[in-house]
């Protein structure tokens, strides 16, 4: 029994020693783990799951940041007070205040590098609230900076803040910068009158924010910046037209083309080099830049009497380049259809503006008519949708600038004041080009989804109808109703226009029987209604019984025959569809 008890006590003692040894080893391991954890924490390598979660909307933290912002602003007002009390000379006080703001911009950059985003935002806000008002007072109250110098100062400050926003990926800082820069520019250009320098700055700001959207997907910044640039260029244009003429027309035209070139050039780099599709902002801003740039330039040339042929030649070169890019490069990429329409539309505007500036007013309608026939012929050959769009646009422009549409309206209104003016050669060219365009536009059809093309054909038909009515009436009216003083009798003119319109309606209804000219049949009933209204307002009032008899007879025949021809045209279209 004693031996067994002794062995048991010996075994228990050994187990006790083993447990004590395990406890010592476990303690050593725990102490090593704590030391390693402490070292990693000192090096900033504590795992994210062990770090305590921070609430970005903690009211205590936010109030602390707001309090710090007020302390920073208090320092700025202290410098302002020292400058006002002449303790510091204005140049010195302004320089110290600007340096003080740059210190807090540096702190914003450093906080952004540490990913302390709220702190970085409040530091940048403090810098903006000190520096931008400081520049306004430097230019307006203390007269330290002139108009150009203040624009350069605002540009430099804005560039510095945007660099911080881009470098640290601080979108809110970008918004603070854009809003502050636009507001400061608006205040300074009104106070100093230096609109052109600030317009240049706002154009640069708009392009910079557009590239921020390309690289960082900060798409919101570019909208207010683009709007500010457009408004600034419009302001320069209006200053040219003011009685005092604060700016010269050359400066305004330069800024207009700078706006257009900066935006279109950036879009071209993105779409051509990067191979991206245009986005809604690019389309909207290009349209705005075309209105402000080209529209403003054309308006200035008309009002001021300047004939910038060089400007028109540059426009034509850009138009040809845009057509080449669209047709040769982009049209081969089936996934870049939006880019094709973008560049062809841009080319259309360039060409219209360019020929308007280069070619004399007498012949520009002839050029547009020839381009319309060419575009329609290309449509019949290749079937690209934009070609039909351009055919309709060029023909409509030709009808307007040549006076064809206006002449047609005057004949329909029976305006006989002064000597009768015969249709010009340009109007006859528009008539011929309209006939060719109608034929070419109807040569190619797509029965499914052809609504847009049908609408464009209808525009071409209407211009051709107006041109033919104007030319026929213009040549016949003085032959049958000419007076000794060179004018035309009002009653005879009313009858002639009714006869011409009635015959034209019958011709349109007859042509519309063919399925490829089905848009002609759409005009039958509107024309009959218009002729009836015209007769009630003119023929019964001015025409004599003999001439009224002719007009009523032909109009009655048109009322009987034209609907029957249209019914036949409708049956033909249905049979072609089946």
Q: Is residue 265 part of a domain?
A: yes
Q: Is residue 40 part of a domain?
A: no
Whether 169 and 113 have beta carbons less than 8 Å apart is answered as no
Single out the residue in 358, 379, 408 at which a domain terminates: 358
Whether 147 and 139 have beta carbons less than 8 Å apart is answered as yes
Q: How far apart are CA 150 and CA 269, in angstroms?
A: 31
Residues 109 and 164 in one domain: yes
Residues 459 and 549 in one domain: no
**Cα atoms in the 13 Å half-sphere on the side-chain side of 293:** 27
Single out the residue in 136, 171, 193 at which a domain terminates: 193
**Residue entry with tokens 């019964």:** 540
For 482, phi then psi, to 5°, come to -70, 145
How many folded domains does the chain comprise?
4
Burial of 550 (0-12, 13-18, 19+ CB in 10 A): middle
Q: How far apart are CA 473 and CA 500, in angstroms?
A: 7
Residues 392 and 423 in one domain: yes
Integer Rg of the chain from CA: 39
For 488, phi then psi, to 5°, come to -125, 140
Residues 517 and 473 in one domain: no
Residues 364 and 322 in one domain: no
Q: Is residue 210 part of a domain?
A: no
Helices and strands per DSSP (H, E), number in the chain: 23, 0
Q: Which of 298, 329, 325 is nearest to 311 (CA)?
A: 298
Q: Is residue 16 part of a domain?
A: no
The pLDDT value given to residue 37: 42
pTM of the model: 0.78
Residue 506, SS3 per DSSP: helix
Q: Is residue 80 part of a domain?
A: yes
Residues 372 and 328 in one domain: no
Q: Is residue 341 part of a domain?
A: yes
Whether 344 and 386 have beta carbons less than 8 Å apart is answered as yes
Retrieve residue 405's tokens: 């549409």
Residues 363 and 352 in one domain: no
Whether 332 and 273 have beta carbons less than 8 Å apart is answered as no
Crossing angle for the helix pair 545-577 and 490-511, nearest 10 degrees? 20
Single out the residue in 488, 517, 534 at which a domain terminates: 488
Whether 416 and 493 have beta carbons less than 8 Å apart is answered as yes
Q: Is residue 364 part of a domain?
A: yes
Whether 369 and 402 have beta carbons less than 8 Å apart is answered as yes
Q: Which of 436, 457, 468, 349 is nearest to 397 (CA)?
A: 349
Would you list the DSSP string of 257-303? HHHHHHHHHHHHIIIIIS-PPP-HHHHHHHHHHHIIIIIHHHHHHHH
pLDDT digits (tens, 9 = 90+) for 63-119: 888 888 898 899 888 888 888 888 889 899 899 999 999 999 999 999 999 999 999
Longest dimension (CA), the chain: 161
Residues 482 and 519 in one domain: no
Residues 308 and 318 in one domain: yes
Q: Is residue 577 part of a domain?
A: yes
Q: Which of 497, 298, 257, 505 is nearest to 401 (CA)?
A: 298
The pLDDT value given to residue 538: 85
The list of the chain residues with pLDDT below 70 reads: 1-57, 245, 305-307, 330-336, 446-449, 568-578
Whether 471 and 431 have beta carbons less than 8 Å apart is answered as yes
Residues 76 and 145 in one domain: yes
Residues 404 and 349 in one domain: no
Residues 84 and 185 in one domain: yes
Parent domain of 499: 492-578
The pLDDT value given to residue 4: 46
């Amino acid at each position: 029994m004693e031996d067994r008890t002794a062995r048991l006590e010996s075994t228990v003692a050994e187990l006790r020693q083993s447990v004590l040894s395990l406890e010592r080893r476990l303690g050593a391991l725990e102490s090593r783990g704590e030391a390693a954890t402490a070292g990693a924490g000192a090096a900033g390598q504590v795992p994210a799951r062990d770090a305590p979660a921070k609430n970005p909307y903690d009211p205590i933290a936010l109030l602390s940041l707001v309090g710090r912002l007020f302390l920073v602003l208090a320092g700025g007002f202290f410098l302002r007070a020292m400058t006002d009390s002449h303790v510091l000379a204005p140049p010195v006080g302004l320089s110290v205040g600007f340096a003080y703001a740059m210190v807090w911009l540096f702190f914003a950059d450093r906080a952004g590098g540490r990913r302390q985003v709220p702190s970085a935002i409040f530091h940048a806000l403090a810098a903006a609230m000190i520096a931008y008002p400081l520049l306004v007072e430097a230019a307006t109250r203390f007269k330290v900076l002139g108009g150009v110098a203040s624009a350069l100062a605002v540009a430099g400050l804005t560039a510095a803040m945007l660099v911080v926003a881009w470098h640290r990926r601080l979108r809110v800082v970008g918004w603070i910068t854009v809003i502050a820069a636009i507001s400061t520019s608006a205040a300074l250009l009104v106070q100093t009158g230096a609109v052109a320098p600030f317009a240049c700055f706002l154009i640069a700001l708009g392009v910079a924010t557009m590239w921020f959207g390309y690289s960082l997907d900060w798409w919101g910044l570019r909208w207010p910046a683009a709007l500010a640039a457009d408004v600034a260029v419009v302001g320069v244009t209006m200053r040219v037209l003011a009685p005092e003429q604060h700016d010269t027309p050359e400066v305004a035209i330069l800024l207009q083309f700078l706006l257009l070139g900066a935006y279109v050039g950036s879009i071209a780099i993105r779409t051509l080099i990067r191979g991206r599709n245009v986005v809604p902002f690019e389309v909207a801003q290009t349209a705005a830049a075309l209105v402000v740039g080209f529209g403003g330039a054309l308006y200035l040339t008309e009002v001021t009497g300047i004939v910038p042929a060089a400007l028109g030649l540059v426009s034509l070169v850009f138009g040809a380049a845009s057509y080449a890019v669209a047709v040769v490069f982009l049209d081969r990429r089936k996934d870049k259809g939006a880019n094709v329409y973008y560049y062809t539309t841009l080319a259309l505007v360039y060409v219209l503006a360019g020929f308007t500036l280069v070619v004399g007013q007498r012949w520009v309608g002839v050029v547009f008519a020839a381009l319309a026939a060419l575009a329609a012929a290309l449509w019949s050959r290749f079937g690209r949708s934009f070609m039909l769009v351009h055919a309709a646009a060029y023909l409509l422009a030709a009808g307007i600038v040549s006076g064809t549409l206006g002449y047609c309206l005057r004949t329909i209104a029976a305006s006989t004041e002064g000597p009768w003016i015969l249709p010009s050669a340009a109007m006859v060219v528009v008539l011929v080009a309209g006939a060719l365009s109608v034929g070419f536009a109807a040569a190619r059809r797509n029965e499914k989804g052809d609504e847009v093309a049908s609408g464009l054909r209808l525009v071409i038909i209407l211009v051709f109808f107006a041109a033919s009515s104007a030319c026929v009436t213009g040549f016949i009216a003085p032959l049958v109703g000419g007076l000794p003083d060179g004018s035309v009798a009002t009653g005879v003119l009313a009858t002639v226009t009714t006869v011409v319109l009635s015959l034209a309606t019958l011709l349109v209804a007859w042509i519309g029987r063919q399925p490829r000219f089905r848009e002609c049949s759409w005009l039958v009933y509107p024309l009959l209604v218009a002729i009836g209204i015209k007769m009630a307002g003119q023929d019964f009032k001015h025409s004599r019984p003999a001439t009224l008899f002719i007009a009523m007879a032909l109009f009655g025949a048109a009322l009987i025959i034209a609907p029957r021809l249209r019914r036949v045209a409708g049956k033909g279209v249905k049979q072609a569809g089946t």
